[in-house]
Amino acid sequence: MHASIAQLENVVKRYGAITALDGVNLRLHPGELLALLGPNGAGKSTAVSLLLGLQRVDAGRATLFGLDPQSLDARRRIGVMLQEAALQQSLRVDELIRLTMSYYPRPREFGSVALMAGIEELLPRRYGKLSGGQKRRVQFALAICGDPRILFLDEPTVGLDLGARTAMWKTLRALVASGCAIVLTTHYLEEAEALADRVAVMARGRIIAEGSVDEIRAHVAQRRIRCISALSAETLRAWPDVSQAEREGEHLHIVCGAAEAVLRRLLAADPELRELEVRRAGLAEAFVEITNDAGAGSVEQKEAA
Amino acid sequence: MDTAIAMSPARIARAWLVEAKYEFLRLLRTPSFALPTILFPSLFYLLFGVLLNGGAHHGGMDMASYMLAGYSAFGVMAPGLFGFGVVVAMEREHGLLTLKRALPMPPGAYLFAKMLMAMLFAAIVVCLLMLLAVTLGHVRMPLGNWSALLITDVLGVLPFCAIGLFVGTLVGGQGAPAVVNLIYLPMSFLSGLWIPLPLLPKFLQQLAPLWPATHLGQIAFSASGAGGDHRVAMHAMVLAGFTLFFFAIARRRLRRAG
């Protein structure tokens, strides 16, 4: 068992009558990228702001490096990129970086910060004159400039074009390889799929599934079959195990339980069948299934109670 | 796990100064703050203190020095009230304060930076006024009075920093400029910074000690030798009291609401 460097233990957080977090346990280990997923209002941002010491728990415990998250010693080892932060519009990008670097005991070298965030050409420009995507990259530079042990990134790639997003992913992978732990909240499931060592899915203030991307995907037993065939979608829908069948041009798309049985029958029914593909459902399908199940589960709990 | 994470005192001091430098720079580059703060006191002084006032004496008061001292007190209230009130309100609303609380900014650096910024702006405002006073306003005072007035005004910005900070914790960024102006302009008038207190209605004269600006004004008038009641120590204590009181309640609100 690794030592955890950030931890929530049985944490409860309420806003008036609303329970934002309801007994959440979460551990972050050195050098791992943990993706926090969940629909809006699931409690992701609350969990992050408790770990950042921006809010206090109502019950349970939040720790950073074993310390109170509000302590300066803990904060000197983290970097932060929040969703909404209007930085000083009239300061230049290089000035913002130097200002943030001054808070840290051993910041990264200035040149390497600019390089890692891909903002070298933005350095002499005023922050207020930048586009949304450029501002996001500058905020990323501020998050990494202190050479943190943990990086908290709240929706970091929103507003980035494809090139900038790929570049940020590359930097994130390099940071994780160098031993930095990252907590990432994102709406882009392909982002979590591409980067995360571990995924925690939240809904209604609880963590309802946790594990590697493959473990989460394994929650979905369903397979997707795609092929070119003369069989009609209606015929297929009547088969056992087939939950969905659609035609798109000459392609058939089938979602089914036990793929092997459906495949045997498919091949037998249409000898002309071509371009066969079978794959497991992705994180996106798993996510939908898990959050739906959680909704059903909570109803059952209420009825049992 | 890493152990040596302490910051040396020199590095912390540096962080405070870097914060102050960029706070000053960014407001200097914000025309909606810098232009009115720096130019309005000079414009008002030129209009009312120089053009409409022919260097008259009123009841033994040297009006030229009186005008300079009054408008300098008026001028230094602005960087405190606006620099804290409006700026803190906006930073609260737009999430900058939240980000700074998550970052390891040394405690105190935020307020220190804004205080130093306000004092620097105050110094600029007063020096401009003094330049106009010497060249166009026919003000002649011993060197001691000039420096006493400068020190009074640069320190005199602090109570208004505290009041501004309190306002900034109460209202949002949209409403802050209006609220600050509602405090700033009436208080300047009621405190005798534009028109000598003895010329105001008796009722307003009696209320005057309630306004912090009255006390700053009295010290400034004494410093410039243009009247004032010369009870400098008493006024300074009242101002220190206002400063501590508003800082204390503002800090409480910041910690709670943040």
Four-point Cα dihedral B125, B127, B130, B134, nearest 10: -140
Q: Nearest C-alpha of chain A: how many angstroms from B37?
A: 17
Q: Is B53 exposed, middle or buried (0-12, 13-18, 19+ CB in 10 A)?
A: middle
Residue B203 lies in a domain: yes
Residue-wise pLDDT for B88-105, tens only, equals 999 888 889 889 989 999
Contact B224, B73 (CB under 8 A): no
Three-state SS for A59? strand
Residue B149 lies in a domain: yes
Residue B16 CA to residue B158 CA, distance in Å, equals 18
Residue B4 lies in a domain: no
Residue B241 lies in a domain: yes
What pLDDT is recorded for position B258?
Answer: 44
* % of chain B at pLDDT higher than 90: 66
Helix pair angle (B109-135, B63-93), 10° resolution: 150
Distances (CA, A) of B143 to B69, B227, B230: 15, 17, 18
List of chain A residues whose C-beta atoms are within 8 Å of the C-beta of residue B2: 77, 149
A54 contacts B5? CB cut-off 8 A: no
Residue-wise pLDDT for B176-214, tens only, equals 999 999 999 999 999 988 888 888 999 999 999 999 999
List of chain A residues whose C-beta atoms are within 8 Å of the C-beta of residue B87: none
Residue B1 lies in a domain: no
A52 contacts B96? CB cut-off 8 A: no
The answer to whether B143 contacts chain A (CB < 8 Å) is no
Q: How many domains are there within chain B?
A: 1
Residue B87 lies in a domain: yes
Residue B229 lies in a domain: yes
Three-state SS for A209? strand
What pLDDT is recorded for position A305?
Answer: 32
Q: What ipTM, to 2 d.p.? A: 0.86
Residue B98 CA to residue A152 CA, distance in Å, equals 14
What pLDDT is recorded for position A230?
Answer: 86
Q: Which residues are registered as beta bridge partners of A202?
A: A207
| pTM for the predicted model, two decimal places | 0.84
Give Cβ neighbours of residue A242 (< 8 Å, ≥ 6 apart): A236, A254, A255, A256, A262
* Pairing of the two strands A181-185 and A206-211: unpaired
Structural domain containing residue B81: 9-257
Residue B72 CA to residue B148 CA, distance in Å, equals 12
Written as six digits, the tokens of B1 are: 């796990």
Q: Nearest C-alpha of chain A: how many angstroms from B158?
A: 23
Residue B224 CA to residue B148 CA, distance in Å, equals 7
Instruction: Tell me which residue of B26, B27, B25, B23 sits closest to B36, measured CA to CA.
Output: B27
Select the residue of A87, A90, A99 nearest B19 (Cβ to Cβ).
A99
Contact A165, A117 (CB under 8 A): no
Distances (CA, A) of A279 to A209, A211, A237, B122: 22, 20, 19, 70
Helices marked H in chain A: 44-51, 72-75, 93-101, 110-117, 132-144, 162-177, 189-195, 213-217, 233-237, 259-269, 283-304
Residue A225 CA to residue A210 CA, distance in Å, equals 27
The answer to whether A146 contacts chain B (CB < 8 Å) is yes
Written as six digits, the tokens of B206 are: 């009696």
Q: Which structural domains are found in chain A, ordered by start?
A: 6-217 (3.40.50.300), 223-280 (3.30.70)
Residue-wise pLDDT for B141-152, tens only, equals 899 999 999 999
DSSP A258: S
Written as six digits, the tokens of A35 are: 């993706």
Number of cross-chain residue pairs from A and B with Cβ atoms under 8 Å apart: 86
The answer to whether A85 contacts chain B (CB < 8 Å) is yes
* Pairing of the two strands A150-154 and A181-185: parallel
Tens place of pLDDT per residue across chain A (305 aa)? 457 899 999 999 999 889 999 999 999 999 999 999 988 888 998 999 999 999 999 999 999 999 999 999 999 999 999 987 789 999 999 999 999 999 999 999 999 999 999 999 999 999 999 999 999 999 999 999 999 999 999 989 888 999 999 999 999 999 999 999 999 998 888 888 899 999 999 988 999 889 998 888 777 777 888 999 888 888 888 888 888 888 888 899 988 888 888 899 989 988 888 899 888 767 777 777 777 776 644 433 333 33
Residue B3 lies in a domain: no
What pLDDT is recorded for position A203?
Answer: 87
- Other beta carbons within 10 angstroms of residue B225's beta carbon come to 18
Select the residue of A5, A80, A90 nearest B99 (Cβ to Cβ).
A80
A105 contacts B6? CB cut-off 8 A: yes
The answer to whether B257 contacts chain A (CB < 8 Å) is no
B104 contacts A72? CB cut-off 8 A: yes
Written as six digits, the tokens of B84 are: 């804290």
Q: With cut-offs at 50, 70 and 90, classify the pLDDT of residue B58.
A: low
What pLDDT is recorded for position A217?
Answer: 79
Task: Read off the amino acid at residue A205.
Answer: G
Mutate to test the interface with A, among B14, B16, B22 (most CBs of A within 10 A): B22
What pLDDT is recorded for position A147?
Answer: 95
Instruction: Tell me which residue of B87, B78, B95 sits closest to B23, measured CA to CA.
Output: B87
Q: Is A300 exposed, middle or buried (0-12, 13-18, 19+ CB in 10 A)?
A: exposed
The answer to whether A15 contacts chain B (CB < 8 Å) is no
